[in-house]
Amino acid sequence: SAQEDYKLWLQYAKVQDSKLATEYKSKINGIVALENSETIQVASKELQLGLSGLLDTKIEVQQNIDSENALIFGSKSSLDEDILKNLKKEFDQINDEGYIIKTIQVKSKNHILITGKTDVGVFYGVFHFLRLLQTKTSIENVNIADAPKINVRILNHWDNLNRTVERGYAGFSLWNWQKLPDFIDQRYIDYARANASIGINGTVLNNVNANALILTPQYLEKVEALANTFRPYGIKVYLTARFSAPIEIGGLKTADPYDAEVKNWWKEKTKEIYKRIPDFGGFLVKANSEGQPGPQNYGRNHVDGANMLADAVAPFGGIVMWRAFVYSEHDVDDRAKQAYSEFVPYDGQFRNNVIVQVKNGAIDFQPREPFHPMFGAMPKTPLMMEFQITQEYLGFSTHLVYLPKLFQEVLKSDTYRKGKGSTVAKVIDGSLDNHKITGIAGVANIGNDINWTGHPFAQANWYGFGRLAWNPNLDSEAIADEWLRMTFSNDENFVNPVKEMLLKSREAVVNYMTPLGLHHIMDTGHHYGPGPWVSNLSRPEWNPVYYHKADKNGIGFDRSKTGSKATTQYAPEAAKIFDDVKTCPEKDLLWFHHLSWDYKLKNGQTLWNGMALKYQEGVDEVAAMQSTWNKMGNYVDEHRFKEVQMLLNIQHKEAKWWRDACLLYFQQFSGKELPKRVEKPT
């Protein structure tokens, strides 16, 4: 039902396996909270809600640890000396947000303890404990110590103040500015619960294409109300800072970061914010990109801009996330090179509370991009990852695409910056270059649709982002497994085939949209559906023809040493791999090379035939997804079953649209027949 749609992965459906249900009930006689902070209170509420659903019975809240088999939770400072002394090893393993879940003995009676160094750590432990029950895991003898590997795990909402959401496909913005601050929608609380359950600890409320009004007292009062709502859940609020705000709302003549009045304006503004929100996280800034104002308007550079804001928030412990997504119409030889050339020379010059936020690839959230060459290239500057959870270029909320596969591919990529094994994950978790501030951002796919994300399976992308933000080394398959069990069913006849479907869905979309390294050939502006023919836009690098460069001689963007030389922005080992068509992974082939239609692929096919077959494969994969899903009616409520069925039907239709449009368009250049296995356009 719509109920289930709304509840995300926190369904807390009754445990079906009777043996396990008996075990759970016997191990959870009562729950004992050792503290009474706001966070522990919401943790206690969550446990009661979760357990009453999972065990279909009310579990009593006890004041003391008597009897046996209590579920005890509280932070380190609330623990008795005799409990504490046996946990030294575990406490050494975790940081401030980590937790321990352990079967312990008190007066020779068994209990389960959930603890951590802070209340939020305990809360995360509570969610992990509930997850054990949601995913059919025994709690006979638990012994878990876990902690996040990245500090700032944050959602970026591209939400405008009029509640439209840029690149949002799930309704309007959750933030009801008109009713705030006095009306606290239950949605805000459920949003916070969902985020806390996966360890997300920050949210940027408003669009990076920013409106300065968010910084006026009228709005800050509303932001404060949201911050108060999220605080018990361990979620800090951040805002985007429009660089020209001193002019627009401050009445100054300039926003030049060298101007004393401007500096002072930001200092005062920051003070005002922290007075309302003492734990305000800081600012996210898009500057001198796609028409946004920035320091370059005044002949200054990114460092000047970022450091000015960093100085304003530093006294309060805030950070500045400065985006590296920049490209201009003036430097059009290869857009992929611009961010690197604008930022890398400044390595080491940013204040230590600045973190540079880099998209996963050098163009823009394509179905597949090689990792951004900035990762690993600025060892003296912390870099954070920006992933897009909302599916701007991947079929909006209509196509089913399991993104943790994409995220994981990027995180595992080897930058070779400090030798083999210098993965992107190690750059952003700070371990490669020893950074204290670390971060990962996901552009949210959340709106006020009943199911939050438009497509029931797009919930998995929010979930999976959070899990990978917690630990970038997790496996996307394990994440799919737990998400399916928590969201739908533990029945193996459901979990196994549908997991298979999820895991294949990312490659399917690559195949029917942009196989073999093609990119940015979506129709212009909205980016939905094919548009490889578009060539009339005012800026060259907005036109799909700029990216595929198809002509009679072949197709692809030569970024190798014979072309734009973008490969030189990678470490020599990586550059070497990409530069040589023989070693360049075929999945990235046309990203790095312009090749003739007769070029022989590894499977012996010509490039033209191979590409056509990939498009067909994408269509076939969606058909396989449909047939898998069509057998799942018995395991899923009717509402969600039908929704997904209809969406997959659209996806199949549109996969064919992509195949036909792209192949017919490219065929005018290749001048070749389609291989037999490719269905003729209808």
Q: Is 372 in the site for ligand GCW (CB under 6 A)?
A: no
Q: Are 86 and 104 in contact (CB under 8 A)?
A: yes
Per-residue x/- mask for ligand GCW, residues 325 to 364, rule CB under 6 A?
Answer: x--------------------------------------x
Q: Nearer to ligand GCW by C-beta: 286 or 640?
A: 286
The residue type found at 651 is: Q
Q: Nearer to ligand GCW by C-beta: 209 or 596?
A: 209
Per-residue x/- mask for ligand GCW, residues 621 to 640, rule CB under 6 A?
Answer: --------------------
Q: What is the largest CA-CA distance in the chain?
A: 82
Active-site residue, 429 included: no
- The Cα–Cα gap between 27 and 110 comes to 9
Q: How far is the CB of 208 from ligand GCW (least distance, A)?
A: 5
Q: How far is the CB of 527 from ligand GCW (least distance, A)?
A: 7
Q: Is 147 in the site for ligand GCW (CB under 6 A)?
A: no
Q: How far is the CB of 355 from ligand GCW (least distance, A)?
A: 16
The residue type found at 210 is: A
Q: Is 365 in the site for ligand GCW (CB under 6 A)?
A: yes
Q: Are 116 and 167 in contact (CB under 8 A)?
A: no
Q: Are 15 and 47 in contact (CB under 8 A)?
A: no
Helix (H, G, I), strand (E, B) or coil at 670: helix
* String of DSSP letters for 589-637: HHHH--B-TTPBPTTS-BHHHHHHHHHHHHHHHHHHHHHHHHT-TTTS-
Of the residues 60, 82, 268, 290, only one is catalytic, namely 290
Running DSSP on this structure, what letter comes out for residue 215?
Answer: G
- The Cα–Cα gap between 99 and 514 comes to 42
Q: Is 542 in the site for ligand GCW (CB under 6 A)?
A: no
Cα 584–chain centre separation: 27
Q: How far is the CB of 151 from ligand GCW (least distance, A)?
A: 22
Over the Cα atoms of the chain, what is R_g?
26
- The Cα–Cα gap between 92 and 663 comes to 58
Q: How far is the CB of 323 from ligand GCW (least distance, A)?
A: 7
Q: How far is the CB of 594 from ligand GCW (least distance, A)?
A: 25
- The Cα–Cα gap between 24 and 28 comes to 6
Quick one: which H or E segment has residue 339? helix 338-343
Q: Nearer to ligand GCW by C-beta: 40 or 363?
A: 363
Which among 280, 210, 526 is positioned nearest to 398, based on CA atoms?
526
Q: Is 392 in the site for ligand GCW (CB under 6 A)?
A: yes
Strand positions, DSSP E, 76-160: 99-106, 109-115, 143-146, 152-156
Q: Is 167 in the site for ligand GCW (CB under 6 A)?
A: yes
Q: How far is the CB of 211 from ligand GCW (least distance, A)?
A: 12
Structure tokens at 668: 């005018």
Of the residues 392, 429, 449, 482, only one is catalytic, namely 392
User: Which of residues 23, 68, 166, 248 is near ligand GCW by CB under 6 A?
Assistant: 166
User: Which of residues 24, 73, 127, 158 is near ligand GCW by CB under 6 A?
Assistant: 158
HSE on the CB side for 354, CA within 13 Å?
A: 26
Active-site residue, 342 included: no
Q: Nearer to ligand GCW by C-beta: 268 or 290?
A: 290
Residues 6+ away with beta carbon under 8 Å from 54: 12, 13, 14, 15, 24, 130, 133, 134
Cis, bond preceding 404 (omega within 30 deg of 0): no
Q: Are 59 and 30 in contact (CB under 8 A)?
A: yes
Q: Is 12 in the site for ligand GCW (CB under 6 A)?
A: no
Active-site residue, 449 included: no
Q: Is 97 in the site for ligand GCW (CB under 6 A)?
A: no
Q: How far is the CB of 543 from ligand GCW (least distance, A)?
A: 14
Running DSSP on this structure, what letter comes out for residue 457?
Answer: G
Q: Is 209 in the site for ligand GCW (CB under 6 A)?
A: yes
User: Which of residues 28, 113, 155, 208 is near ligand GCW by CB under 6 A?
Assistant: 208
Binding residues for ligand GCW, total number by CB under 6 A:
11
Q: Nearer to ligand GCW by C-beta: 134 or 207?
A: 207
* String of DSSP letters for 256-309: -TT-HHHHHHHHHHHHHHHHH-TT--EEEE--SSTT---GGGGT--HHHHHHHH
Q: Nearer to ligand GCW by C-beta: 443 or 518?
A: 443
Q: How far is the CB of 389 from ligand GCW (least distance, A)?
A: 12
Q: How far is the CB of 359 from ligand GCW (least distance, A)?
A: 7
CB atoms within 10 A of CB 428: 27
Q: Nearer to ligand GCW by C-beta: 116 or 447?
A: 447
Chain residue at closest Cβ approach to ligand GCW: 364
Beta bridge pairs of residue 443: 156, 388
Q: Nearer to ligand GCW by C-beta: 370 or 456?
A: 370
Q: Quickly tell me which residue has 């304006």 as its tokens.
A: 265
The residue type found at 314 is: A
Q: Nearer to ligand GCW by C-beta: 363 or 619?
A: 363
Q: Nearer to ligand GCW by C-beta: 158 or 666?
A: 158
Q: How far is the CB of 325 from ligand GCW (least distance, A)?
A: 5
Secondary structure in 3-state letters for 382-432: CEEEEEECCCCCCCCCCCCCCCHHHHHHHHHCECCECECCCEHHHHHCCCC
Residues 6+ away with beta carbon under 8 Å from 289: 323, 325, 326, 327
Of the residues 159, 256, 334, 364, only one is catalytic, namely 364
Which among 581, 551, 591, 593 is positioned nearest to 336, based on CA atoms?
591
Q: Nearer to ligand GCW by C-beta: 140 or 290?
A: 290
Of residues 270 through 329, those in contact with ligand GCW by CB under 6 A are 286, 290, 325
Running DSSP on this structure, what letter comes out for residue 99?
Answer: E
Q: Nearer to ligand GCW by C-beta: 291 or 299?
A: 291
Q: Nearer to ligand GCW by C-beta: 121 or 367?
A: 367
Q: How far is the CB of 292 from ligand GCW (least distance, A)?
A: 8
Per-residue x/- mask for ligand GCW, residues 69 to 88, rule CB under 6 A?
Answer: --------------------
Q: How far is the CB of 155 from ligand GCW (least distance, A)?
A: 14
CB atoms within 10 A of CB 424: 25
Which among 312, 303, 290, 325 is positioned nearest to 246, based on CA atoms?
312
Binding site for ligand GCW (CB under 6 A): 158, 166-167, 208-209, 286, 290, 325, 364-365, 392
- Catalogue the active-site residues: 290, 364, 392
